[in-house]
Structure 1
Amino acid sequence: MGAPYWAFNTAVNAGREPEGGTLENCAVIYPAGNWAVFAYTCGAINVYPICSRTPLHGHCGQPFVLVGTHCVHVIQAGSTWAAARTQCGLLGGDLIILEDCHQYRKVYLYLTEKGYKPFAFWIGGSDLAIEGQWRWIDGSPIAMGVPYWGNVQVGGPGAPEPNNPGVENCMELSSAWMYRFSNTLCNNTRRVVCETHPL
């Protein structure tokens, strides 16, 4: 207790913090108080939280595992693309972004080593905002063409993905396309690849 953490309350007849007895049981800091600690009412609504998490030296919190530079978790149950984002969010992440070729390869190897085929997975890309402009969920543009996007293979190699503009607006990875990008209906059900950053 005391300096340098706790403030000196300059109000009339006031002394050093903490003050307020049983009425002020929570701690706050604010700029007008030179960022020192003050006792405060716990039910106050005009205070913003400051959150932290204990670092684990580049490790991943459960249920994520470190794959390349990101923490990855595969949800086995099928869901729509929008529901997949919600599920990842409940775990503290979002759908995976594969904008880096090295990280993309690491994830591909992870999925194949785990034997997750012949299945498809939702990843964090779509052209839902503007038709034909494929973007990751963080707003960054998605690289088009090889080596990322697959080819339509009905009856043999065909036109490159994405196809069916205005109809198939969400992105998947599928073993049928050698785990390259493919667009499909957002209401289809797929497994989910979530990611978050290491702690």
Structure 2
Amino acid sequence: MPTRRMRTECQRGQYKAQHCTLEVKNPRNMVFLVLLVPFLPLLTGSPLPPATTATNPQCPPGFHVIYGRCVQFRTEIGTWKEMKNECFNEDAEMVKVDDENFMYYLVEFINDNGLDGHRYWIGASDEDHEGTFTWTDGTEVKMGTPFWGDGGDQVQEPDVGSSENCVGLAREDHFFFFDYPCDAKRSVICESVSKIQ
């Protein structure tokens, strides 16, 4: 069932066309938007890309292959900088969620493996330049849908000024991106920088 946020974004044209493909008016002139994303593979015969690819790396112990990347879920909590160091100690970086398919399979893994009771830091912040979110490798974070959440208030993140500079996945909003104070305590998702081939 589409959420109010999804319907609003479809009406504004913020979702890609394939996400908002059917509009049906009932006799009472109410408009229902049917989001077909979960059913698109069934309707088109084109499956979503698999969660693992043919060029899957072999990951170091404790890491999982998700969409061709080696990731580790660290469920202890700490500040953004503390958890960045935790990843570094594992020869890893905080995860870079820069692809819609990777995000889909990452969240699916979280939900399917009982990891959905945590809030996670990811490797993005705007500490270097207020309002410009970058990954730890210096590349810019994609803004808007489908990455950033709205917390149900219809105002898409990031929506707070200089007090919230670090990015995490919000379990309260389907693990979309939110900006938080960097000294908040969260778990972290790490991505291995060394893959065993």
| TM-score normalised to structure 2 length | 0.68
Judging changes above 3 Å, is the alpha-carbon distance between structure 1 residues 63 and 118 closer, same or farther for their aligned structure 2 residues? closer
Structure-2 residue corresponding to 1:186: 182
Partner of 1:159, secondary structure, is coil
Structure-2 residue corresponding to 1:119: 118
Post-superposition offset of 1:160:
0.7
State whether residues 118 and 176 of structure 1, in contact with CA within 8 Å, keep that contact through their aligned partners in structure 2. Answer: no
Structure-2 residue corresponding to 1:93: 92
Structure-1 residue corresponding to 2:65: 66
State whether residues 92 and 191 of structure 2, in contact with CA within 8 Å, keep that contact through their aligned partners in structure 1. Answer: yes
Post-superposition offset of 1:144:
0.6
* One-letter identity of the residue aligned with 1:142: V
Pair member with larger Rg: 1
Question: CA offsets, 1:13-55, max 9 Å, x none?
Answer: xxxxxxxxxxxxxxxxxxxxxxxxxxxxxxxxxxxxxxxxxxx
C-alpha distance in structure 1 between counterparts of 2:160 and 2:57, whole Å: 41
Post-superposition offset of 1:158:
2.4
Percent identity between matched residues is 26
Structure-2 residue corresponding to 1:47: none
Partner of 1:167, secondary structure, is coil
Post-superposition offset of 1:62:
1.1
Partner of 2:85, secondary structure, is helix
Structure-2 residue corresponding to 1:174: 170
Length, aligned pairs only:
140
* One-letter identity of the residue aligned with 2:165: N
C-alpha distance in structure 2 between counterparts of 1:75 and 1:159, whole Å: 30
* One-letter identity of the residue aligned with 1:126: S
Q: Which runs of 5+ in 2 are unaligned?
A: 1-55
State whether residues 57 and 69 of structure 2, in contact with CA within 8 Å, keep that contact through their aligned partners in structure 1. Answer: no
C-alpha distance in structure 2 between counterparts of 1:83 and 1:164, whole Å: 23
C-alpha distance in structure 1 between counterparts of 2:117 and 2:86, whole Å: 22
| TM-score normalised to structure 1 length | 0.67
Q: Which runs of 5+ in 1 are unaligned?
A: 1-56
Partner of 1:72, secondary structure, is strand
Of Structure 1 and Structure 2, the greater helix share is in 2
1:149 aligns with 2:141: no
